[in-house]
Amino acid sequence: MVGIVLLTGGSGAIAYFCHAKYKLFLSADGKGYVSSIVVTAYQIMLSLGKAIFLLIGFDVLTVQSLYLILNAGQALIFTIYVRKKYKWVDLKTEPDFEAISQRKSVIVHQISTLIFNNTDVLLLTFFCDLKAVSIYALYKNLINMIGTLVNHFSESLNFKLGQTFDDRKKFLRLHDVYETFHVALTFSLCTIAYVFFLPFLTLYTKGMDANYLLTYMPLLMCSAEILNYARIPSQNVITYAGHFKQTQWRSLLESIINLTVSIAFVFIWGIYGVVLGTVIALLYRTNDIIIYTNHKILRRSVWGVYRLWIVNILFSALTVLLLNVIPFRFDNYFSLILSAVIVCVVVVPIQITTNFLINKESGRELICFIKKKVKKSN
């Protein structure tokens, strides 16, 4: 047991002290894809290595040592790449503590996020039972796939938006295009997830004892995902502007609302009550972020963002109504996945295109951007 703890701790130490700084540096320079390639290769090698070791018959301690060895390999690759490609970077220079003067406020945000993200599981563990935790974890793991996809898109553009923040006119043009696309993508993916949630679970949980098919759970989960991820463009602006200290109490209030409402509702509705508490807290914080960003930082009306949300809410509601009319039949995973892919190929482009047609300025900006890219490629 001591050996496993040491190996796990060693892997974490390598991750945070050796290559975390290089990953952040590459992300800031728009080379996040390099990190993605290295991390993906690491995950593949780790999975294959564990499978091979277990088949051969090695013990748990030996299998766990793979984490340490491969993490060390990751750190070495990042170190070599950065030192070779960025020879001008002086790793021995004196740290600029003024640049991170708001680090305490950032820590407050991180702690608040940690509390918020773990409130549901902790409350279900204390006030319900492990069956409820198992059901919640299944729904959460499924919807998190959407969040992972949306996050990859967001991170790929963060560096560009951050670099143009000081040029207000250029930044607003890029930001509006990004926000239009991002919100439309989040809504469309979550809408499709909502439609196929219960059909997938019906196949996945066939023969299980626990009743995993909760009628309103997909709606609550997808609503929470939309509120959490569609606000990312506005939330990123707060990061670009460095308004960590100004917004730290707002972040804490989100966690307090989530904790308070969830505790009150868990005794009434159980697992539904806990997720509903999360949705209510997100409703407060998402609106707060949108209003703060547009009024305090961008100095403009918030109506443009709310119009974007209203359009997508109506479009998603219409999509659900139309898809419910189609007599889908899911006898196996293949038929379900095929139907989901077809719906995704149809719905996502239409919803994104509709958003750009309604937000004409963003549409024109996107067309100009595409034309420039086409000219450069030719």
For residue range 147-178, what is the model confidence (pLDDT) as tens digits?
Answer: 888 877 777 677 778 788 888 888 999 999 99
Residue 47 in contact with residue 19, Cβ under 8 Å?
no
Residue type, 354: T
51 contact partners, CB below 8 Å, separation of at least 6 = none
Taking only the tens place, the pLDDT of each residue in 27-79 is 777 777 787 788 778 878 887 887 787 778 777 777 778 777 888 888 888 88
Q: Count CB atoms within 10 A of the CB of residue 129.
A: 10
Residue 302 in contact with residue 290, Cβ under 8 Å?
yes
- DSSP result, 320-331: HHHHHHS----S
- 3-state SS class at 19: helix
Question: 21: buried, middle or exposed (CB in 10 Å: 19+, 13-18, 0-12)?
Answer: middle
Confidence of residue 9 (pLDDT cuts 50, 70, 90): low
- 3-state SS class at 216: coil
The model's pTM: 0.85
Taking only the tens place, the pLDDT of each residue in 207-226 is 776 678 899 999 999 999 99
d(CA 161, CA 178): 9
